[in-house]
């Protein structure tokens, strides 16, 4: 799948980075002393490996292993420079931890300059090579309904990884027979599957419908799999490419019960490990943020009338209600009659509130909700009861997001901006359900890291987020 291609690309770039780091320090040492004698005394093999892993970890944090590379506030060069500087600090700390000989400022500076040049070169070269060496995989879609057309458009958007050959329908459609067979239209019927795979060099077949009852098709696909052709479902490919679950095409709620996450969510060991991570991280963040609380409280009181803290009823796990705490970022009595969908440019937000929201400091009191066990670090954002009732009526499977505790951050938050409409809420639900279906401590760690990265450098917007603007069902 496209996901596997990305893993291969990432592995190649990571390996190239590690070799570049080793080479950079050896070259810097050679320039400094004119010989390599004594290099391994200053840089033992185990330390070189730890050092390389430190650089790679920092590079990952700075999003240098994503394809394509894009960041909202920094160019690729800026990302590499900042990542290398931070990685140098990690290397110096490792030196002191293991009581090794000091590196020397000259060697460290020269090595970092070489690393910056090599890492930038690796990304430009590999991008060029991947473009010409990794050919798009030819894809045939079985079916021509709404789901088939949806996945067809999605595959076309991933032109670097896939090439859509066309669709196979249940029965022949005479209006399609005169069309160019090279266009991504109907190219035959289910009975033509074997010939189409051979004729177009197909590497991936996508079943757009579940439970297709066609013995010839099933038999042909089994033989195709033996010949290294991958067969996947619409929902699996959609999830791999988008990180969402296409709820419009899920026919039965039982589908969710068959996924890993819905089985693991309430597993005793998983629950305890997640609780331990929640308490550890929220406790640490609470302690680190406490010195800021008096200054935030003073700024809120000086800027506008009203209380410093804001309490609001939200819906948690199993649809239980709880009081969510925030620093007030809107004017007092922002909602006099009924709940209002808030927007990013909401005029009810105060001057200090706008700064707090920009820095996400208004959310800090929710660490107390996490310590109380009402929320988790990672999970779907808790919504207000009034909106939950509305969304449950309008959006299928909406109640399933309450299968787990709500979170301070989550998969939907890092992939989508705000929800200012039913359509936005529906799309965020698709991300939330993907998180629950695939939940793991590793995924939680990835979300936390991406949250920290977006907090520091800004979040690249998805196409949907860029076109839909933003808003939220949250505060007031």
pLDDT tens readout for residues 151-172 = 999 998 887 788 999 999 877 6
Tokens encoding 379? 């999970």
The pLDDT, as a whole number, for residue 466 is 37
Q: What is the C-alpha to C-alpha distance for residues 178 and 189, in angstroms, rounded to an integer?
A: 15
- Residue 204 is classified by DSSP as E
Fold of 137-242: Rossmann fold (3.40.50)
3 state SS of 366 = helix
The pLDDT, as a whole number, for residue 358 is 85
- Residue 416 is classified by DSSP as -
Radius of gyration of the chain (CA): 26
The structure tokens 């066309």 sit at 166
The pLDDT, as a whole number, for residue 260 is 77
The pLDDT, as a whole number, for residue 342 is 58
pLDDT value at 392 more than 70: yes
pLDDT value at 248 more than 50: yes
Give the side-chain half-sphere CA count within 13 A for 411: 25
**pLDDT grade, residue 180 (50/70/90)?**
very low
pLDDT value at 411 more than 50: yes
Which sequence spans correspond to the domains of the chain?
2-133, 137-242, 262-468
The pLDDT, as a whole number, for residue 9 is 84
Q: What is the C-alpha to C-alpha distance for residues 205 and 233, in angstroms, rounded to an integer?
A: 8
The pLDDT, as a whole number, for residue 22 is 94
**pLDDT grade, residue 290 (50/70/90)?**
very high
Q: What is the mean pLDDT of residues 40-60?
A: 89
What rounded mean pLDDT belongs to the chain?
A: 84
Closest C-alpha among 419, 428, 422 to residue 394:
422
Tokens encoding 168? 């196979």
Alpha-helical regions (H) of 98-135: 105-133
The structure tokens 């730890």 sit at 50
3 state SS of 312 = strand
β pairing state of 309-315 and 321-327 = antiparallel
Q: What is the C-alpha to C-alpha distance for residues 331 and 354, in angstroms, rounded to an integer?
A: 11
Contact 238, 1 (CB under 8 A): no
3 state SS of 398 = helix
| DSSP letters spanning 319-353 | G-EEEEEEE--B-TTS-SSS---B-TT-TTB-HHH
Torsion sign (Cα): 96, 98, 104, 107:
negative
Please name the residues in contact with 465: beta carbons below 8 A apart, sequence gap of 6 or more.
416, 417
- Residue 290 is classified by DSSP as G
Chain centroid to CA 182: how far?
35
Q: What is the mean pLDDT of residues 226-254?
A: 89
The pLDDT, as a whole number, for residue 190 is 86
Find the distance separating the first CA and the last CA of the chain, reported in whole Å: 43
**pLDDT grade, residue 73 (50/70/90)?**
very low
The pLDDT, as a whole number, for residue 131 is 78
pLDDT value at 63 more than 90: no
pTM of the model: 0.82
| H helix or E strand, kind and range, residue 138 | strand 137-142
Contact 145, 251 (CB under 8 A): no
The structure tokens 């190239």 sit at 16
pLDDT value at 465 more than 70: no
pLDDT tens for residues 430-458?
Answer: 999 999 999 888 899 989 988 888 777 66
Q: What share of the chain is helix, strand, coil (3-state, %, to 5)?
A: 60, 10, 30
pLDDT tens for residues 256-284?
Answer: 877 877 777 777 888 889 999 999 999 99
% of the chain at pLDDT higher than 90: 43
């Amino acid at each position: 799948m496209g996901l596997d291609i990305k893993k291969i690309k990432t592995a190649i770039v990571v390996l190239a980075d590690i070799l570049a780091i080793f080479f950079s320090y050896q070259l810097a040492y050679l320039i400094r002393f004119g010989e390599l004698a004594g290099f391994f005394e200053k840089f033992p093999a185990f330390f070189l490996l730890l050092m390389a892993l430190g650089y790679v970890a920092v590079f990952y944090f700075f999003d240098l292993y994503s394809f394509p590379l894009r960041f909202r506030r920094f160019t690729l060069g800026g990302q590499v420079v900042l990542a290398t500087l931070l990685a140098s600090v990690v290397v110096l700390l490792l030196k002191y931890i293991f009581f090794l000989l000091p590196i020397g400022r000259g060697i460290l500076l020269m090595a970092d300059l070489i690393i910056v040049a090599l890492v930038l070169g690796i990304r430009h070269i590999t991008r060029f090579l991947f473009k010409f060496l990794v050919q798009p995989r030819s894809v045939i879609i079985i079916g021509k309904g709404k789901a088939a057309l949806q996945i067809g458009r999605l595959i076309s958007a991933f032109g670097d990884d896939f090439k859509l050959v066309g669709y196979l329908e249940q029965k022949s459609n005479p209006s399609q027979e005169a069309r160019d067979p090279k266009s991504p239209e109907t190219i035959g019927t289910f009975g033509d599957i074997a010939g189409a795979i051979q004729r177009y060099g197909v590497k991936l077949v996508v079943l757009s419908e579940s439970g297709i009852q066609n013995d010839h098709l099933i038999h042909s696909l089994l033989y195709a799999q033996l010949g290294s052709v991958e067969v996947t479902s619409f929902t699996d490919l959609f999830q791999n490419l988008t990180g969402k679950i296409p709820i419009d095409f899920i026919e039965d709620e039982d589908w969710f019960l068959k996924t890993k996450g819905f089985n693991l969510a309430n597993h005793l060991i998983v629950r305890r490990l997640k609780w331990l991570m929640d308490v550890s991280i929220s406790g640490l963040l609470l302690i680190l943020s406490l010195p800021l609380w008096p200054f935030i409280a003073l700024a809120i009181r000086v800027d506008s009338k009203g209380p410093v803290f804001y309490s609001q009823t939200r819906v948690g796990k199993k649809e239980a209600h709880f009081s969510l705490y925030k620093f007030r970022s809107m004017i007092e009595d922002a909602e006099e009659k009924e709940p209002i969908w808030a927007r990013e440019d909401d005029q009810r937000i105060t001057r200090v509130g706008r700064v707090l929201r920009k820095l996400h400091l208004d959310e800090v009191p929710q660490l107390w909700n996490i310590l109380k066990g009402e929320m988790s670090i990672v999970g779907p954002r808790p919504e207000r009861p009034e909106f939950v009732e509305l969304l449950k009526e309008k959006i299928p499977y909406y109640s399933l997001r309450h299968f787990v505790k709500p979170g301070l951050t989550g998969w939907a938050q890092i992939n989508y901006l705000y929800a200012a409409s039913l359509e936005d809420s529906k799309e965020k639900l698709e991300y939330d359900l993907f998180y629950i279906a695939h939940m793991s401590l590793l995924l939680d760690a990835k979300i936390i890291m991406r949250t920290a990265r977006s907090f520091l450098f800004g979040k690249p917007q998805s196409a949907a987020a860029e076109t839909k603007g933003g808003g939220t069902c949250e505060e007031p």
